[in-house]
Amino acid sequence: MQVTWGYSARELRSGNRVPVIADTASTVNGHALIVGMTGAGKTYTLKRMIREMAATGDPAQPTRFYVFDIHGDIDIDGASTVMFSEQTGYGLNPLRVNPDVHFGGVRKRVQGFMSTMNSVMRELGPKQQATLRNVLYDVYERHGFRQEDPSTWAVNEDETHLLSNGTGRIYIDVPIAEKDDAKSLGARWDAGARCWYIDSREYEGAITRWPPKTLSRTHPSIKDVLRTARYIMQQNRLTTPPDHPTLLRILLKRHLGYTPGEGKCYSNLGYMILSMIVEKKSGMKYENFIQKYVLQPAGCFDMHIAGTYYKDRRPNETKYYMHQGSIPVYEYNNSGRMVEKCYGDTDLPRLSGAGAWCGSAAELSRFIASIDGMPHVKDILSRKSVQFMTQEQPDHQYSIGWNYTPKSNRPWIRTGSLAGTSALILKYPDGQCWILITNTSTWKGHGFSNDTMAFFEKLRKKYMPLMPKRDLLL
């Protein structure tokens, strides 16, 4: 079989039309990869390849072609069509649990799914992995799969199918105690099926907190994961963004990522809980307490909890921007309105101690000088506290408050980012503190901090010998 790809570009420059032909009889490696932008002609090229291979093959032994088409737009003469979906038995469900009591289970499947995600796309960060892990465990629990009970890992595939009457209705699994909530969102009662239903065209938004009704237990699907992640407010029966106590109640229901004491990762929840403890014990707002007892003694008089929208910015506060190519997102309060991610994606005041402070690089440098244990500026912390916060960890990650505090002749590191901003602090053993705060997002993620650190190192090496040999803090 042969495929004519076109004419040799090299020969065309000399005026010669020499065809480029792939011959399966002489090809060492028979694989081909077609890559192109949308509309570039990938599908057309594939169809032409199949036609030419069919025309040039052995008539006595006709070649059979198999087309795996997820979009359904490849129409080939004489070919049969097979739909790959969960309803046909030809689909692939990456969330299917292995029922083997020794090698299967929910935990194994979650780990496998996350490993696949990290291998086929940019690796997820610790917070992203923790979020995805919690969502997956929630979805499995809703479908009756429990890691501690291997008897729940098996599903009778022959009995598993959606409840349906063939009229375009989606029957939904509504507990009796929640029937009024479902009714208020448009659900209707089918007395014959004894089940609540919604028109398939209306199954979106808050109503999706109730999954489709099946006649038997099913494996969860990617749609279930997306539904759970997108409509977490509705699933917790929230009509407005939660206050701190409500948010804490919801978050403490989340599954732990690992057994306590066996691992660690950065947690915004921990900082939020700490800010609530400060308010409870002091009787003051968290912002006011930190300003009075931490920031002002450190010489910082213009640091505040940031606002959510552009209209909420402080005097002299910059405007924030998203990186080129960013897309609008849903507003944090479930209004359905699309907003620029840096203004409306996150309710910043509710973050409080988890990263909502707004201040300048100059004030941040004064704050760092007051917690570094060096003699130039009086510390607001005891020496014992500074030593505790800067102990180098066995895994070289996440000291107490810092990202990394090595014992070697390397800087202490602290990074931070929100939509519209990134920050980096490098505190060197020689007393220097390098700080960068941006007013735009970066598409590079953690790579941006790594690039900035490398840039700082080059600047130190090139220019520091030229700087005056004096202590600027004296």
Nearest to 104 by CA among 145, 45, 50, 136: 145
Ramachandran class of 420: left when φ > 0, alpha when ψ lies in -120 to 50, beta otherwise:
left
Rounded distance, CA 46 to CA 37, Å? 15
Contacts of 2 (CB under 8 A, 6+ apart): 21, 22, 23, 24, 52, 53, 56
Ramachandran class of 278: left when φ > 0, alpha when ψ lies in -120 to 50, beta otherwise:
alpha
pLDDT attached to residue 157: 67
Residue 265 located in a structural domain: no
- At 380-435, the pLDDT tens digits run 999 999 999 998 877 667 788 888 898 878 899 999 888 899 999 999 998 889 99
pLDDT attached to residue 344: 92
Look up the domain containing 387 and give its range: 285-466
Residue 270 located in a structural domain: no
Residues 215 and 338 both lie in one domain: no
Beta-bridged to residue 306, according to DSSP, are none
Rounded distance, CA 126 to CA 129, Å? 5
Residues 38 and 117 both lie in one domain: no
Report in angstroms the alpha-carbon separations of 201 from 128, 186, 214: 31, 12, 19
* Tokens 């009796």 belong to residue: 176
Residue 254 located in a structural domain: no
Residue 206 located in a structural domain: yes
pLDDT attached to residue 160: 60
Number of domains in the chain: 3
Residue 13 located in a structural domain: yes
Residues 451 and 303 both lie in one domain: yes
- At 21-41, the pLDDT tens digits run 888 777 777 788 888 887 778
pLDDT attached to residue 383: 93
Residues 320 and 437 both lie in one domain: yes
Tell me which residues of the chain have a pLDDT lower than 50: none
Contact 143, 220 (CB under 8 A): yes
Ramachandran class of 396: left when φ > 0, alpha when ψ lies in -120 to 50, beta otherwise:
left
Residues 295 and 363 both lie in one domain: yes
Residues 309 and 450 both lie in one domain: yes
pLDDT attached to residue 269: 81
pLDDT attached to residue 72: 63
CATH code (residue 333): 3.40.710.10
pTM assigned to the model: 0.60
- At 254-297, the pLDDT tens digits run 767 667 777 777 778 888 889 999 999 999 999 999 999 999 99
Residue 153 located in a structural domain: yes
